[in-house]
């Protein structure tokens, strides 16, 4: 089980992040990569929905065309593909191999894909949340991030609670799992000098973090999801991501 020690809890509370080495096995990481390969091989995104993803919320919401904007805004209860900048021509055709074009897949892998559901709701993750004091945590979103070689985009400094706002603050937790080695060269998180396959990073909703552009020859795959303490918490109606009738935020504890 993955319970935190008192010293780990203190470090997380002080720093706003905590690295847990070897949280997942190499086999568990390989299973996620294999499943993602299958999803990408089968992806069929109509040309008018081939949108380039931006970590700048205002830029994302200014995406050309209402259909494109809706494709992003209505992705909270679906598995959808978002692409790197500069991978399409003016007609929406791929300029690079499709498997090298994807920025991320989101935002409901945890709900609809069995491989990612098993990771998200694993006894290890549940034990981790309990040791952090979560009483009624729900999973609000999940993403698989590719950080493609040579042009995997920079993620500018940000706080997750800006996009996923709660009242009161302090109710949001990001869980970031390195599926491949994350290094300075391929765009690791800025507060980690080098994190290896299977390591898990806890990210407080208000800690500022970023990653640089990937200029290396190697991708930097990661699976990340967010938990919210639902007890006594109001999810902001201004958040772009909202629970739906089809997918209310599912409870973590099973």
Mean pLDDT by 10 residues, the chain (254 residues): 88 90 96 98 90 61 64 94 90 92 96 98 97 97 91 73 93 95 72 62 87 88 97 97 97 96
SS3 30: helix
pLDDT at position 59 is 53
> Taking the model in full, what pTM does it have?
0.91
Please tell me the distance from the alpha carbon of residue 201 to that of residue 130, in angstroms, as a whole number. 16
Distance of CA 113 to the CA centre of its chain: 15
Separation CA 59–CA 131 (nearest Å): 37
Angle CA 210–145–35, to nearest 5:
160
pLDDT value, residue 83: 92
Write out the two tokens for 124: 């290890």
- How far apart, in whole angstroms, are the C-alpha atoms of residue 63 and residue 37? 27
Domains and CATH numbers, the chain: 6-235 (2.60.120.620)
Tokens at 27, concatenated: 């086999």
Q: How many CB atoms lie within 10 A of CB 191?
A: 17
* Per-residue confidence (pLDDT) for residue 55, from 0 to 100: 59
Provide the pLDDT for residue 51: 73
Integer Cα distance of 243 and 254 in angstroms:
19
């Amino acid at each position: 089980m993955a319970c935190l020690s008192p010293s780990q809890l203190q470090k997380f509370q002080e720093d706003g992040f905590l690295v847990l080495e070897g949280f997942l096995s190499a086999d568990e990481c390989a299973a996620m990569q294999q499943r993602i390969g299958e999803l990408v091989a089968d992806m069929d995104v109509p040309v008018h929905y081939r949108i380039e993803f931006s970590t700048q919320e205002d830029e994302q919401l200014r995406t050309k065309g209402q259909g494109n904007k809706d494709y992003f805004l209505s992705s909270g209860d679906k598995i959808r593909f978002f692409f790197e900048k500069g991978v399409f021509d003016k007609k929406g055709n791929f300029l690079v191999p499709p498997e090298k074009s994807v920025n991320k897949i989101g935002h409901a892998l945890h709900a609809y894909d069995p491989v990612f559901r098993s990771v998200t709701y694993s006894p290890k993750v549940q034990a981790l949340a309990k040791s952090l004091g979560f009483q009624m945590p729900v999973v609000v979103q999940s993403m698989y991030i590719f950080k493609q070689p040579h042009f995997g985009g920079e993620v500018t400094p940000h706080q997750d609670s800006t996009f996923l706002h709660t009242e009161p603050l302090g109710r949001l937790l990001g869980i970031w799992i390195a599926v491949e080695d994350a290094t300075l060269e391929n765009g690791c998180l800025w507060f980690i000098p080098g994190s290896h396959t299977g390591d898990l990073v806890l990210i407080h909703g208000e800690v500022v973090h970023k990653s640089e552009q990937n200029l290396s020859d190697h991708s930097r795959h990661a699976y990340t999801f967010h938990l919210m303490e639902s007890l006594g918490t109001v999810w902001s109606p201004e958040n772009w991501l909202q629970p739906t009738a089809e997918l209310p935020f599912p409870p973590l504890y099973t």
